[in-house]
């Protein structure tokens, strides 16, 4: 079982203005002459973590992290205006150009896998490879499972906390009910909804509940961006033209060397989606971790991702 590489500090930290409104934080660590890899964090709205640097051999990789619009150290915080999948795809290209890179490996899990695939299909010539985890295509069936009914059968206790802010008469559509509260002008309404939404996801992310993760997700500042931006994307179905967007454009990326890691017991992004991707895209390496849930920090998922980063690019 592989452990994370030792902690490292960035050799470069800066900000990149991507619009009149939005400015992104980005950083670089590892080997400035190494193979560039850009890490696309989850959420949307989750922001980057220092541990993301530790999935890569710092002698081999030029590790690039950035906080997507509205979250982490990017500004303005929790902003929904001009914040769509296609804005983020354009931001990734701006960052690549800004750094003077011809190609890079794209690494992303959960929402990061969605964004990785959307970026790759838009700019396949810029992708040297893809390393993906917890496949999520942002289809209504996936959202209904997590936020309307399905996962409640597995986590009925934590589900009770998730539904508390929503009155009975609005529970036929939790996404809409939460969106109204997360965009409320009342700070207390917004705070209560953001914490309930965020802690629900933290409660379901690991095979064994992680109280430290739940505490992090309950933090007011983190929860505000995480819940608002997630709900904004989810109620708009990721701003995709079709729920079949990935399969319709698969041939654009079929040739890109790709590795996929999926936890068998991932309840946030259930394996059914990853399996459908695997069946449609057999050229991609596909690994199922038998004793893992959703989080990239699950021991089996962590180990598999490090092994993949060690052998990439192929």
Residues catalogued as catalytic: 110, 266, 294
Strands (E), 19-114: 23-30, 35-40, 61-66, 104-109
Token readout for 200 is 């629900």
User: What tokens does 12 get?
Assistant: 């470069």
The whole-angstrom distance between residue 34's C-alpha and the CA centroid of its chain comes to 24
Report yes or no: 1 and 303 within 8 Å, Cβ to Cβ.
yes
Which residue, chain included where needed, has tokens 């309404």? Answer: 189
Tokens, residue 275: 């399996």
188-216 burial string, b = 16+ CB within 10 Å, else e?
A: eebbbbbbbbbbbbbbbbbbeebeebbee
The span from the CA of 70 to the CA of 92, in Å, is: 15
C-alpha span between 59 and 65 (Å, rounded): 17
CB-based burial of residue 155 (10 Å sphere; 0-12 exposed, 13-18 middle, 19+ buried)? middle
Rg, Å, the chain Cα set? 18
* Backbone dihedral angles phi then psi of residue 251, each to the nearest 5 degrees: -65, -20
- What is the C-alpha to C-alpha distance for residues 87 and 98, in angstroms, rounded to an integer? 16
Whole-angstrom Cα distance, residue 42 to residue 20? Answer: 24
């Amino acid at each position: 079982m592989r452990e994370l590489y030792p902690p490292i500090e960035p050799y470069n930290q800066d900000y990149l203005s991507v619009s009149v409104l939005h400015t992104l934080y980005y950083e670089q660590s590892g080997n400035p002459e190494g193979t560039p890899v850009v890490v696309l964090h989850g959420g949307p709205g989750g922001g980057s973590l220092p541990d993301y640097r530790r999935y890569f051999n710092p002698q081999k990789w030029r590790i690039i992290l950035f906080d997507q619009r509205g979250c982490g150290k990017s500004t303005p915080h929790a902003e929904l205006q001009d914040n769509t999948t296609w804005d983020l795809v354009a931001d990734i290209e701006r960052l690549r150009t800004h750094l003077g890179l011809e190609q890079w490996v794209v690494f992303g899990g959960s929402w990061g896998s969605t964004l990785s695939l959307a970026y790759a299909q838009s700019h396949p010539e810029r992708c040297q490879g893809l390393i993906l985890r917890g496949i999520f295509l942002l289809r209504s069936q996936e959202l209904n499972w997590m936020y309307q009914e399905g996962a409640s059968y597995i986590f009925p206790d934590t589900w009770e906390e998730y539904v508390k802010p929503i009155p009975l008469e609005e529970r036929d559509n939790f996404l809409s009910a939460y969106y109204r509260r997360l965009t409320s002008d009342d700070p207390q309404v917004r705070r209560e909804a953001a914490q309930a939404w965020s802690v629900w996801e933290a409660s379901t992310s690991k095979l064994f509940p992680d109280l430290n993760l739940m505490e992090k997700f309950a933090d007011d500042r983190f929860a505000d961006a995480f819940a608002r931006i997630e709900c904004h994307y989810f109620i708009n179905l990721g701003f995709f033209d079709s729920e079949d967007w990935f399969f319709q454009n698969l041939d654009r990326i079929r040739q890109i060397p790709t590795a996929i890691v999926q936890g068998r017991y991932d309840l946030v992004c259930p394996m059914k989606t990853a399996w459908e991707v695997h069946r449609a895209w057999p050229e991609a390496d596909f690994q199922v971790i038998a004793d893992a849930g959703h989080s990239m920090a699950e021991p089996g998922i962590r180990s598999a991702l490090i092994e993949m980063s060690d052998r990439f690019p192929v």
